[in-house]
Structure 1
Amino acid sequence: MASATSSSQRDWGKGMACVGRTKECTIVPSNHYGPIPGIPVGTMWRFRVQVSESGVHRPHVAGIHGRSNDGAYSLVLAGGYEDDVDHGNFFTYTGSGGRDLSGNKRTAEQSCDQKLTNTNRFVESAFRLPRRHTSAVLGSVLGLMSSK
Structure 2
Amino acid sequence: MFGHVEGVSIGQIFDSRAALAEAGVHTPSQASIWGAAEGAYSIVLSGGYEDDVDELDYILFTGQGGRDPYTGHQVADQEFIRGNKGLKLSCEYNLPVRVTRGHQIEGGPESGYRYDGLYYVKKYERVRGSSNFLICRFHLASQQSWEDVEE
| Counterpart Cα distance in 2 of 1:66 and 1:46 | 22
Contact 1:41 1:132 in 2 (8 A): no
The count of residues paired between Structure 1 and Structure 2 equals 110
Counterpart of 1:37 in structure 2 is: 6
Going from structure 1 to structure 2, the CA distance change for 1:38 and 1:122 (only over 3 Å counts) comes to same
* Structure 2 gaps, min length 5: 109-114, 121-151
| Contact 1:100–1:111 (Cα < 8 Å) also in 2 | yes
Establish whether residue 63 from structure 1 lines up as the match of residue 27 from structure 2.
no
Q: Secondary structure at the match of 1:75?
A: strand
2:17 paired with 1:48? yes
Give, in whole Å, the separation in 1 of the partners of 2:97 and 2:83: 18
Q: Which residue of 2 aligns with 1:122?
A: 86
User: Which residue pairs with 1:110 in the alignment?
Assistant: 74
Q: CA offset at residue 85 of structure 1?
A: 2.6
Contact 2:26 2:34 (C-alpha < 8 Å) held by counterparts = yes
Residue by residue over 1:81-132, the C-alpha shift from the partner in whole angstroms, topping out at 9 and shown as x without a partner, is: 122232111211100112244xxx4x53101221112221111110222455
Q: Aligned-pair distance for 1:142?
A: 6.2
* Greater fraction of residues in strand: 2
Cα deviation 1:22-50 (Å, max 9, x = unaligned): xxxxxxxxxx1121122111112232221
Q: Residues 2 and 97 of structure 2 are in contact (CA less than 8 Å); yes or no, is this contact kept in structure 1?
A: no
When the two chains are superposed, the root-mean-square deviation of aligned CA atoms in Å is: 2.5
The match for 1:75 among 43, 48, 67 is 43
3-state DSSP class of the match of 1:93? strand
CA distance in 1, matches of 2:52, 2:29: 19
1:77/1:66 CA distance change after superposition, 3 Å: same
Match for 1:53: what amino acid? E
Aligned-residue sequence identity (percent) comes to: 39
Structure 1 unaligned regions, length at least 5: 1-31
1:44–1:97: structure 2 CA closer, same or farther, 3 Å change rule?
same
DSSP-derived class of the 2:10 partner: coil
- TM-score normalised to structure 1 length: 0.62
SS of structure 2 residue aligned to 1:39: coil
Aligned residue identity for 2:57: N
On the 8 A contact 1:43/1:135 being kept in 2, the answer is: no
Match of 1:84 in 2: 52
Q: Distance in 1 between matches of 2:58 and 2:95?
A: 14
TM-score norm. by structure 2 comes to: 0.61
